[in-house]
């Protein structure tokens, strides 16, 4: 098959090219037959250029042009001229190509949806025909920005003396968090590899091996329930450094964000980023990843309503819970239906109910006013700065749940009142630090690591490991951008005795610890340096840079929320011969 190779792409011709003979290759976006003139918009990943056929002058060319349909692949040759009706929305909008020759390289069937940015087709159809979806300029732009991120990341870490090292994709299964994806071994039947949830153990061993600055753009896998910002396979910028403290890790990470925002968006961001403790984040904003672009802070009013006679409040406080609230500024106009809707929303996060208080025309209108004295109400008004037109939403529950419910309500109010929409092009960066090292899992009846089992406790809290583990703070830090956790890291445990103690607190016997993590414990015996690192979610970074709320918009071939790849049909059944080779027998489906 013969075709003329392009001399230019569809996004580069300008007024300075007028009079030049050029050849373009690409996909037909639209065809408009005006009788004496036929216009064809030709598209490639660089842009769109308008072609024009003067039908009176060339009947053979006109016939070819009238055979062309959307998404045909063509080659077109002609002269660049000034466009009469210029299109200021296109970089090439000042010119057009008067065609002298046109060849259809490949025809196309009628697509199941139009290849345009503003697309109403449902996502399942788009994912099934992802090869067509990816022709849309907006998705191509997203992936080009992702590509630009890769180049900036490589250059930034090379400049800062990091070594890029690839760690294994098939590793030992060490389940201590999300589920592993398992890979059966054909040679060693009955045994399995795991796909890495993170290169965590390997990068720590690289520090012990003397590679003091490691980085990798790593593919990771977690077999967990999916959301709009999660995929079963994802990409992270993984780094580790030796002879450092948390300030060093945070500083090197901040430098990367400065480079990304400057080179991609042209936005200068200030460093160092704000830092807040986990306790402050929860008590002020109800989240360990708060969006601090707007206020709407929370308040603990337990001391005012204790022994008020309202059973819900009294019983919660008597059982070591709290009563806290959010002042939804200017929302007193919410109807009872609106408040019921917010109550239903709060129940999704575990709320048993939602009390409220409006301040309208200088008076309090409240679902619980009859249980509270004027003195109590006045103290609450002062505490939460309640003003005319405000709406107070009140939750009573145990500490974590109470604040988490209010944190969810805070975001929902910001959404309903248009606050978030107004902040769409504003960015806030901050760190959350001083997380608890451990949580207690009541179902499992044991402690679990809030981050992971290799996170170091703060030096001053190490004695508490033996007497009050839940009071121990971690040398951990999360980077938050606009209310999304973009990455997290920690200073690691480099002392074998403390690491063994950590495993014991997590309920692992010495035998279990050696079975799962023996290679790390052995390595720690041979001169482990102080070290720490962070994993930054590349997919989430690109989401933020492109302004999308859907992680599938920044991944070339993503999975659905149920983990399916609709284009190629993965996961799929395999034939019995393959299972026999692996020594695997499937249980009959009931």
Residues 367, 389 within the same domain: yes
* Average pLDDT across the chain, whole number: 94
Closest CA to 38 of 59, 22, 7, 8: 59
Burial of 50 (0-12, 13-18, 19+ CB in 10 A): buried
Residues 63, 82 within the same domain: yes
Burial of 159 (0-12, 13-18, 19+ CB in 10 A): exposed
C-alpha to C-alpha distance for 385 and 74, rounded to whole angstroms: 66
Which residues, 6 or more positions from 397, have their beta carbon under 8 angstroms from its beta carbon?
316, 321, 322, 350, 351, 352, 405
Residues 196, 151 within the same domain: yes
* Full domain range(s) for residue 365: 294-422
Contact 132, 111 (CB under 8 A): yes
The DSSP bridge partners found for residue 557 are none
Other CB atoms within a 10 A radius of the CB of residue 81 amount to 15
Closest CA to 323 of 356, 347, 300: 300
Q: Does a structural domain hold residue 253?
A: yes
Q: Is the pLDDT of residue 269 over 70?
A: yes
Residues 406, 433 within the same domain: no
185-214 tens-digit pLDDT: 999 999 999 999 999 999 999 999 999 999
Q: Is the pLDDT of residue 541 over 50?
A: yes
pTM: 0.92
Q: Is the pLDDT of residue 1 over 80?
A: no
> What token pair was written down for 467?
């007497």
33-67 tens-digit pLDDT: 999 999 999 999 999 999 999 988 789 999 999 99
Pairing assessment for the beta strands 95-106 and 37-44 based on DSSP bridges: unpaired
Average pLDDT on 357-374 reads: 88
- Dihedral sign from CA coordinates of 384, 387, 390, 392: positive
Residues 224, 270 within the same domain: yes
Spell out where 168-260 has E strands. 182-184, 192-194, 213-221, 233-242
Residues 193, 300 within the same domain: no
**What pLDDT is stored for residue 53 in this prediction?**
95
Q: Does a structural domain hold residue 546?
A: yes
Residues 350, 259 within the same domain: no
Q: For the chain, report the end-to-end CA distance as a whole number of angstroms.
A: 54
**Considering its fold, how many domains does the chain have in total?**
3
Q: Does a structural domain hold residue 117?
A: no
**What pLDDT is stored for residue 589 in this prediction?**
53
Q: Does a structural domain hold residue 113?
A: no
Residues 493, 381 within the same domain: no
Highest mean pLDDT among 111-120, 257-266, 450-459: 257-266
Least confident of 341-355, 408-422, 575-589: 575-589
**What pLDDT is stored for residue 2 in this prediction?**
74
- The domain that contains 99 carries what CATH number? 2.40.50.140
Contact 234, 191 (CB under 8 A): no
Q: Does a structural domain hold residue 22?
A: yes
**What pLDDT is stored for residue 590 in this prediction?**
43
Least confident of 147-151, 251-255, 570-574: 570-574
Q: Does a structural domain hold residue 586?
A: no
Residue at a domain's end among 389, 422, 455: 422
Angle between helices 496-505 and 510-524 (to 10 degrees): 160
How far from the centroid of its chain's Cα atoms is residue 122's Cα?
Answer: 21
Residues 195, 270 within the same domain: yes
- The domain that contains 191 carries what CATH number? 3.30.930.10
Q: Is the pLDDT of residue 175 over 80?
A: no
Residues 233, 298 within the same domain: no
Residue at a domain's end among 394, 422, 450: 422
How many helices (H) and strands (E) in the chain? Answer: 18, 22
Q: Does a structural domain hold residue 24?
A: yes
Residues 441, 551 within the same domain: yes
**What pLDDT is stored for residue 10 in this prediction?**
97
Average pLDDT on 417-422 reads: 94
Contact 396, 402 (CB under 8 A): yes
More confident residue, 363 or 456: 456
The DSSP bridge partners found for residue 39 are 32, 52
Q: Which helix (H) or strand (E) holds 32?
A: strand 21-33
373-387 tens-digit pLDDT: 889 999 999 999 999
469: DSSP letter: G
C-alpha to C-alpha distance for 528 and 499, rounded to whole angstroms: 12
Residue at a domain's end among 396, 422, 448: 422
- H helices of 325-477, in order, are 336-348, 374-384, 399-416, 419-422, 464-467
- The domain that contains 308 carries what CATH number? 3.30.1360.30
Q: Does a structural domain hold residue 570?
A: no
Residues 445, 515 within the same domain: yes
120-145 tens-digit pLDDT: 889 999 999 999 999 999 999 999 99
């Amino acid at each position: 098959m013969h075709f003329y190779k392009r001399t230019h792409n569809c996004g580069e011709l300008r007024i300075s090219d007028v009079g030049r003979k050029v050849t373009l290759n690409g996909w037909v976006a639209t065809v408009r037959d005006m009788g004496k003139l036929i216009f064809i918009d030709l598209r490639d990943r660089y842009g769109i250029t308008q072609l024009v056929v003067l039908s009176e002058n060339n009947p053979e060319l006109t016939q070819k042009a009238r055979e062309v349909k959307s998404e045909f692949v063509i080659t077109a040759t002609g002269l660049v001229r000034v466009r009469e009706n210029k299109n200021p929305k296109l970089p090439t909008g000042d010119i057009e190509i008067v065609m002298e020759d046109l060849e259809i390289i490949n025809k196309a069937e009628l697509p199941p949806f139009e290849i345009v940015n503003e697309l109403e087709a449902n996502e399942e159809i788009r994912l099934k025909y992802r090869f067509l979806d990816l022709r849309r300029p907006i998705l191509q732009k997203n992936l080009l920005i992702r590509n630009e991120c890769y180049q900036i990341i490589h250059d930034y870490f090379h400049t800062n003396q990091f070594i890029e090292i690839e760690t294994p994709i098939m590793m030992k299964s060490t389940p201590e968090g999300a589920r592993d994806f398992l890979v059966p071994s054909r040679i060693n039947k009955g045994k399995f590899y795991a796909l890495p949830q993170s290169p965590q153990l390997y990068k720590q061993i690289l520090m012990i091996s003397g590679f003091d600055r490691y980085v990798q753009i790593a593919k990771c896998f977690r077999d967990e329930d999916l959301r709009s910002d999660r995929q079963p396979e994802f990409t992270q910028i993984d780094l580790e450094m030796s002879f450092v403290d948390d300030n060093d890790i945070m500083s090197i990470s901040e430098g990367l964000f400065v480079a990304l925002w400057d080179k991609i968006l042209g936005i200068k961001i200030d460093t160092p980023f704000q830092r807040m403790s986990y306790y402050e984040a929860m008590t002020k904003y109800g989240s360990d990843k708060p969006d601090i672009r707007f206020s709407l802070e929370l308040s603990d009013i337990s001391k005012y309503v204790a022994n008020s006679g309202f059973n819900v409040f009294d019983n919660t406080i008597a059982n070591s819970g709290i009563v806290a609230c959010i002042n939804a500024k200017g929302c007193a106009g919410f109807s009872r239906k609106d408040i019921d809707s917010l109550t239903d929303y709060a129940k999704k996060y575990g709320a048993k109910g939602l009390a409220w208080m409006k301040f309208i025309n200088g008076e309090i209108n409240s679902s619980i006013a009859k249980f509270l004295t004027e003195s109590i109400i006045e103290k609450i008004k002062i505490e939460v700065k309640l003003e005319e037109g405000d709406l107070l939403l009140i939750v009573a529950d145990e500490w974590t749940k109470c604040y988490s419910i209010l944190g969810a309500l805070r975001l929902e109010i910001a959404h309903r009142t248009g606050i978030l929409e107004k902040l769409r092009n504003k960015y806030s960066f901050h760190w959350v630090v001083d997380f608890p090292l451990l949580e207690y899992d009541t179902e499992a009846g044991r402690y679990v690591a809030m981050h992971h089992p290799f996170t170091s406790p703060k030096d001053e809290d190490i004695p508490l490991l033996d007497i009050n583990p839940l009071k121990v703070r971690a040398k951990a830090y999360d980077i938050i951008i606009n209310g999304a956790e973009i990455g997290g890291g920690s200073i690691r445990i480099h002392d074998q005795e403390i690491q063994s103690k950590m495993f014991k607190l997590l309920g692992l016997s010495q035998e279990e610890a050696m079975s799962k993590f023996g290679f790390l414990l052995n390595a720690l015996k041979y001169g482990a340096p102080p070290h720490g690192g962070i994993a930054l979610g590349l997919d989430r970074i690109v989401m933020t840079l492109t302004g999308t709320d859907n992680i599938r918009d920044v991944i070339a071939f993503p999975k659905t929320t149920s983990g399916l790849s609709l284009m190629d049909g993965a996961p799929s059944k395999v034939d019995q011969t393959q299972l026999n080779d692996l020594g695997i027998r499937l249980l009959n489906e009931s």
